[in-house]
Amino acid sequence: MNQNETPFLEALKKYIDENVSPFDVPGHHMGNVDNLFKDYIGELTYRCDVNAPRGLDNLNHPSGVIDEAQKLMADCYKADEAFFLINGTSSGILAMIAATVKAHEEIILPRNCHKSVINGLILSGAIPVFVMPQFDHNLEISNQPSIDDYIKQIEKHPNAKAIFVINPTYFGSTNDLKALAKIAHENGMLCLADEAHGAHLGFSKELPISAMEADFDLSAVSMHKTGGALTQASVLLRKGNRVTHYDVFKSLMVVNTTSPSNLLIASLDSARHFMALNGKNKLEEVIKIGEEAREKINEIPGLKARGKDYFLNQGSYDYDSTKLVIELESLTINGFELYNVLKDEYNIQMELAEQYTVLAILAIGTKKEHLDNLVNALKDISKRFYIEKRTYPKYHYDSPFPKMVMRPRVAYQAPVKRVNLDDALGLISKESIMIYPPGIPLIIPGEVFDKNIIDRIKWYKKTKATILMDYDDMTVSVVDYEQYLENRDNVEDRFDD
């Protein structure tokens, strides 16, 4: 296919040039309003924010320029079919799970998955069979589960419908996708991938392979994260015939808006164009300047920039070197504080923090000048906060995640009770509690509050982390089990009854 073409963008430009008299929504009618945001961002953005069913195709039933643009996307990402998403990879994950795993069917997935995956379980009613990630006790982050742990669960749950993989994790760890796809397919299971952080994978030999290259059946990819599209613009990729066009189409109809933004669709079309033509060179350039920055950071007292060798030693199969993981080895501040200091005092926005780590995402937009600013800021911060002997304690979790006793959907629908966190010991959670970013829940609906998780939540509350809970006053939402039992004819069963 001719990757030089941008069929949707061209059609949009033509439509704008035609000087239409608009009587469809949106009612600003191509920017014909007094609006402070329009003044700031420029009239053209508003002019391009059209619905235009005649001329610009329909995302929910594409047969014209969206269809053409999706075919180019599929070709670029080595898929058989691509579905544009305008509500992020979250919507792709919801659709992907709903399309493949029904209520009471099992899906094998890593426990360190994003909250959208948990919401996918709630929507579909599936039973999660978790594979525990390998835990890096030094950085206190979760990487990939080992392939052996996936295999154990595949053997233990032969009726599971699908396996689910994160490619890569937020911190760049990847798994042996080809081996996993082979084993899963031989066992009659589908292969699903969350590639929210992987829109650039597969574009260079220096990067891990993508899920489509490994013959996965479906993958949701955040083009907006590392592929150059506008925020919320993602794509759901399909390969082979284990999952049909119809399966995906039907579940996308459940989650898609009927008013997709054509700005986002145009950004997908041109992001794909850039990646197809320039992705390889640009990414290799970025990996090179990232490596140079790593070397400089490693000379700064109190800090370590972790890369591929480190993650392979920790058990990852491969590593995405565009993730610049900076460990705080010996500073008087923690990762959350470093994240804040970098923004508040040096005007540098990092992607996320953990207790001993901050993460910089390098992507096609990364400038050497910005990496230099980061290195210089870290040098200065080291002068201010370095100590020879670390004063803050390492905080280790015995079991990183609590036990699940109820399907997430059942817990989500069960009657609610609000209790103090300290009184939640032994009760079943109705909420997902997470540090954001990364948005990986510490506890999810259906899991039981144990001492470890209560301590962890209290500890995170004391750090400068942003912790998302239903309420901010140290109360939590749990299942009102007495009421649940009284009404249980109306709701579905517990796991362990």
Ligand X SMILES: Cc1ncc(COP(=O)(O)O)c(C=O)c1O
Closer residue to ligand X (CB): 119 or 382:
119
CB 306 within 8 A of CB 291: no
Is there binding between residue 262 and ligand X (CB under 6 A)? no
Closer residue to ligand X (CB): 6 or 119:
119
- Among the listed ranges 87-95, 139-147, 283-291, 384-392, the one in contact with ligand X (CB under 6 A) is 87-95
Distance of CA 205 to the CA centre of its chain: 23
Sole binder of ligand X in the list 70, 100, 234, 316 (CB under 6 A)? 234
CA–CA separation, 3 and 16 (whole Å): 23
The terminus-to-terminus CA distance of the chain in angstroms comes to 55
CA–CA separation, 111 and 315 (whole Å): 17
Helices vs strands, H then E, count in the chain: 18, 20
Closer residue to ligand X (CB): 235 or 406:
235
CB 190 within 8 A of CB 248: no
Residue closest to ligand X (Cβ): 88
Half-sphere exposure of 84 (CA within 13 A, CB side): 35
For the CB of residue 123, give the shortest distance to ligand X in the complex, in Å. Answer: 14
Q: Distances from the Cα of 186 to the Cαs of 58, 112, 182, 438, in angstroms?
A: 38, 25, 6, 33
What residues numbered 197-226 form the site for ligand X, per CB under 6 A? 197, 222
CB 8 within 8 A of CB 59: no
Is there binding between residue 110 and ligand X (CB under 6 A)? no
Closer residue to ligand X (CB): 65 or 352:
352
What are residue 199's phi and psi, to 5 degrees? Answer: -65, -15
For the CB of residue 470, give the shortest distance to ligand X in the complex, in Å. Answer: 20
Closer residue to ligand X (CB): 83 or 385:
83
Collapsing DSSP states into helix, strand and coil, what is residue 410?
Answer: helix
Amino acid in the structure at residue 194: D
What character string, x for contact with ligand X (CB under 6 A) and - otherwise, covers 409-438?
-----------------------------x
- Among the listed ranges 74-82, 85-93, 153-161, 465-473, the one in contact with ligand X (CB under 6 A) is 85-93
Is there binding between residue 355 and ligand X (CB under 6 A)? no
Sole binder of ligand X in the list 6, 89, 175, 251 (CB under 6 A)? 89
- Among the listed ranges 36-44, 82-90, 345-353, 472-480, the one in contact with ligand X (CB under 6 A) is 82-90
Q: Which two tokens stand for residue 398?
A: 């015995």
Closer residue to ligand X (CB): 166 or 180:
166
Is there binding between residue 196 and ligand X (CB under 6 A)? yes
Is there binding between residue 173 and ligand X (CB under 6 A)? no
Closer residue to ligand X (CB): 220 or 341:
220
Is there binding between residue 194 and ligand X (CB under 6 A)? yes
What are residue 174's phi and psi, to 5 degrees? Answer: -130, 165
Is there binding between residue 322 and ligand X (CB under 6 A)? no
For the CB of residue 436, give the shortest distance to ligand X in the complex, in Å. Answer: 9
For the CB of residue 295, give the shortest distance to ligand X in the complex, in Å. Answer: 28
CB 355 within 8 A of CB 335: yes
Sole binder of ligand X in the list 439, 441, 445, 446 (CB under 6 A)? 439
The burial of 4, by beta-carbon neighbours within 10 Å (0-12 exposed, 13-18 middle, 19 or more buried), is given as exposed
Dump strand ranges (E) for 349-485: 352-354, 357-361, 416-420, 433-435, 440-443, 467-468, 475-479
For the CB of residue 394, give the shortest distance to ligand X in the complex, in Å. Answer: 25
CB 215 within 8 A of CB 191: yes
Sole binder of ligand X in the list 73, 166, 207, 276 (CB under 6 A)? 166
Sole binder of ligand X in the list 6, 70, 90, 219 (CB under 6 A)? 90
Is there binding between residue 228 and ligand X (CB under 6 A)? no
Q: Which two tokens stand for residue 437?
A: 């970013």
Closer residue to ligand X (CB): 20 or 132:
132
Entry field: residues in the chain: 497
CA–CA separation, 497 and 493 (whole Å): 7
Is there binding between residue 271 and ligand X (CB under 6 A)? no
CB 74 within 8 A of CB 62: no
Is there binding between residue 119 and ligand X (CB under 6 A)? no
- What is the binding site for ligand X (CB under 6 A)? 88-90, 114, 116, 166, 170, 194, 196-197, 222, 234, 438-439
